[in-house]
Homo-oligomer: A and B are copies of this chain.
Amino acid sequence: MTTVSDTVPSEPKAKISTAVRNALAKHGYARLTTAKIAAECDMTEAGLYYHYDSKDAMIVAFLDTATGFLKRELADLDAKDPETRLRQACERLFVTYDDEPRRRVNIAVMELLSHAPYNETLREPLLDLEASNLAVLHDIVATGIDQGVFRDTAPDGVAAFLLAAANGSTGFYLALGMEDAGADLHDAVSAYIDSLVA
């Protein structure tokens, strides 16, 4: 999948990725058209098809860009100590309802995930995105265990639990607007991280 987008120069790729992101946030995947992507940047549909041969290939470019962006953002967290890094990574992965652009993008990514069993083009970049997020969380927890900041626990399990909870909050909290449950979840995740501290 990455080979598809890797053949496109970085400037149009970045521009089209941003347009896909904005169009997905506004319309979701089911109603997404290349005309709506073109409307988000100063390009024609023909211009889009010059670089990508399908709407899904444009979405792959967006996912690829988003994975890279999130990976860098999580690598560049301010804190050095693993406990604070884990809290900052969770603040980034657990999107709040008030953050409308990210809320809408996360809902669209959840929609893309639901198409993955039927859509091979989307499956690979979504696997890359989830694997990248798991790896970031794993590395923070593993480093914390090595340094004696966290008690001896399975970093893979903590990473899977936190990522599942972050992704799962997209349904009842971000898509349905159950704000009380969102606040309860935030507190429970914070208490869970407390419980990891040695």
Contacts and interface: CB of A to CB of B under 8 A. Distances in A.
Contacts of A107: 114, 117
A76 B118 CA distance: 35
25 contacts: A28-B117, A104-B117, A108-B114, A111-B115, A117-B175, A126-B171, A127-B176, A127-B178, A130-B178, A131-B178, A154-B191, A159-B184, A160-B181, A161-B185, A161-B192, A163-B181, A164-B164, A164-B166, A164-B168, A164-B169, A164-B173, A166-B168, A167-B171, A168-B170, A192-B192
Contacts of A30: 30, 115
Interface string A110-130: 110111111000010011001
A195 interface: yes
Given A108-B114, A195-B195, A161 B188 contact: yes
Copies of this chain present in the complex amount to: 2
Given A164-B165, A191-B157, A192-B161, A28 B181 contact: no
A136 interface: no
